């Protein structure tokens, strides 16, 4: 199997008992109408009988003798009873009990001597539902990869009763052998030699082009005065979100209607992600105001950007930029306009760069985090951002697992020392699933942030309506 890339290896090197580097997803399902009380147990049995996790989740991590070198994925046996677990909620099985259980599960570090994933089926959820919590190490997958994997497990057909493993095996059987596979062994060897030589020549040219492109990207992103995202990162204020983290996590969730985001985006000529960043700015502004801890300068968010991946491997293919959240602006419409101006300009600047240069740009952004994490000095450094804000799409249509309808998908992410808050939103079937991950000790009452996010959306809707029609105020 292949070696891990620079960014994937960085997530492994940053792993510690206080900063586990795994991501997760909490999915809630509604039981089929004809399901009996043993349905969750049946789901567990079927998942274990037909396990399926794509590469590299059929592998474990193997470090070389010199840990200065990146590790390698090597195939490993999967102990399905270890990886696929069955839990139950205490009565009354509400969202509070579910959140408490999943927060504890997400706080536990993974056994990296095994394939780096766990799946927990959780029964006893009120209103005839059950939950599935999946976690996987960030060295093996990014947000877009996770959404792609979830879509392969689930089906838009409510009558589909096969397990994810059974559906995958059937799809692979239908595809049959690869028509492009080389049959002759000598021809195959020659093909590999030619490909290796071509890659060597291409890589030499690519490194030169990437270095030149990377320098140009830094230059462009440093331009623009107050709209410069590099200057924004260097001016990031310190907040209660930027402190040393402990091992324990909390999850805050909110389910919102996608059409509300779309309506604002259309009326304000901006993107849905601009609306997400705006209401995040509003929520964090209100949360810090209540603690008398809102800084004069605007909070900033690290905004990951997914990059195309053509090699079919797992791991991470991301870059990103730092965006001010307008927390120094009272009016939510002005806050949105400010954010939209910055994101539009930054995306235009980044579109001029190649994917290779953008991936290197993302690695440069991770370098100080990794260095500070490994030396234990990261909480003492000036922060480069205050919160991570990610936005991914799971599916525009409803999905089902063995006849059970997926109702919501709440993401959970990683935290670093000095960076105790992460917000990830997932678009699914006309809904926006908001998931805050926070350090339990650094950010008390995390659910308030999720609630404030919903209220910030209403505030923004009202402000946009008043702007369009002053008489409606």
- Positions marked catalytic: 138
Three-state secondary structure call for residue 67: coil
Integer angstrom CA distances of residue 360 from 214, 217, 224, 326, 467: 7, 10, 22, 28, 42
Q: Which whole-number Å values give the CA distances from 343 to 223, 306, 395, in the listed order?
A: 14, 15, 24
Burial class of residue 1, CB neighbours in 10 A (0-12, 13-18, 19+): middle
Which helix or strand (DSSP H or E) is residue 253 part of? strand 249-257
Tokens of 297: 């300068």
CA distance 340 to 227: 10
* HSE of 267, CA atoms in CB hemisphere, 13 A: 19
Dist CA 269 CA 265 (whole Å)? 6
Spatial contact of 139 and 366, defined as CB atoms under 8 Å apart: no
- Sequence-distant (6+) residues with CB within 8 A of 352 are 216, 217, 220
Please give the helix or strand (H or E) that residue 212 lies within, else none. helix 185-221
Inter-residue contact 57 to 15 (CB < 8 Å): no
Residue among 5, 10, 4 at smallest CA distance from 366: 10
Q: Would you state the torsion angle of the CA atoms of residues 172, 173, 178, 181, taken in this order, to the nearest 10 degrees?
A: 110
Query: 420 — phi, psi (to 5°)?
Result: -100, 10
Say which residues have a Cβ less than 8 Å from residue 332's Cβ, sequence separation at least 6. Answer: 278, 282, 456, 459, 460, 463
Strands of 387-395's sheet, edge to edge? 249-257, 431-439, 421-428, 387-395, 300-306, 318-324
């Amino acid at each position: 199997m292949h070696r891990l890339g620079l960014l994937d290896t960085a997530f492994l090197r940053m792993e510690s008992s206080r900063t586990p580097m795994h991501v997760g997803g909490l999915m809630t399902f509604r039981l089929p109408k004809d399901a009996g009380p043993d349905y969750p147990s049946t789901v567990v049995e079927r998942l274990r009988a037909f396990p399926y996790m794509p590469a590299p989740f059929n592998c474990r991590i193997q470090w070389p003798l010199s840990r200065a070198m990146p590790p390698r994925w090597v195939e490993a046996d999967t102990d399905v009873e270890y990886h696929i677990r069955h839990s139950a909620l205490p009565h009354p099985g509400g969202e509070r009990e579910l959140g408490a259980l999943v927060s504890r599960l997400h706080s536990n570090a993974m056994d990296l001597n095994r394939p780096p994933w766990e799946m927990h089926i959780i029964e006893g959820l009120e209103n005839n539902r059950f939950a599935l919590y999946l976690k996987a190490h960030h060295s093996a997958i990014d947000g877009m990869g996770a959404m792609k994997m979830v879509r392969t497990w689930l089906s838009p057909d409510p009558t589909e009763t096969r397990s994810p493993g059974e559906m995958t095996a059937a799809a692979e059987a239908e595809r049959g052998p690869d028509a492009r596979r080389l049959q002759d062994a000598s021809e195959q060897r020659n093909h590999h030699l030619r490909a290796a030589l071509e890659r060597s020549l291409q890589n030499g040219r690519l490194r030169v082009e990437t270095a030149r492109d990377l320098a140009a990207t830094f230059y462009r992103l440093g331009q623009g005065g107050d709209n410069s995202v590099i200057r924004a990162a260097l001016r990031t204020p310190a907040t209660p979100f930027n402190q040393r983290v402990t091992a324990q996590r909390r999850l805050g969730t909110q389910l919102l209607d996608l059409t509300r985001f779309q309506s604002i985006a259309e009326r304000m000529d901006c993107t849905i992600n601009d609306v997400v960043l705006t209401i995040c700015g509003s929520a964090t502004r209100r949360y810090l105001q209540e603690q008398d801890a809102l800084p004069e300068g605007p909070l900033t968010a690290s905004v990951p950007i997914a990059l195309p991946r053509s090699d079919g491997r797992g791991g991470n293919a991301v870059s990103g930029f730092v965006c001010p959240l307008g927390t120094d602006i009272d009016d939510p419409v002005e806050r949105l306009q400010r954010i939209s101006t910055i994101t539009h300009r930054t995306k235009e600047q980044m579109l001029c760069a190649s994917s290779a240069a953008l991936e290197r740009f993302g690695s440069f952004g991770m370098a100080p985090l990794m260095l500070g994490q490994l030396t234990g000095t990261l909480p003492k450094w000036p922060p480069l951002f205050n919160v991570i804000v990610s936005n991914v799409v799971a599916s525009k249509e409803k999905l089902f697992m063995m006849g059970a309808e997926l109702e919501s998908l709440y993401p959970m992410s990683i935290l670093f020392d000095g960076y105790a808050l992460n917000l990830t939103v997932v678009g699914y079937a006309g809904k926006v699933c908001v998931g805050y991950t926070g350090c339990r000790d650094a950010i008390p009452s995390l659910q308030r942030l999720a609630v404030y996010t919903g209220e910030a959306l209403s505030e923004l809707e009202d402000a946009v309506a008043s702007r369009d029609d002053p008489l409606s105020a």
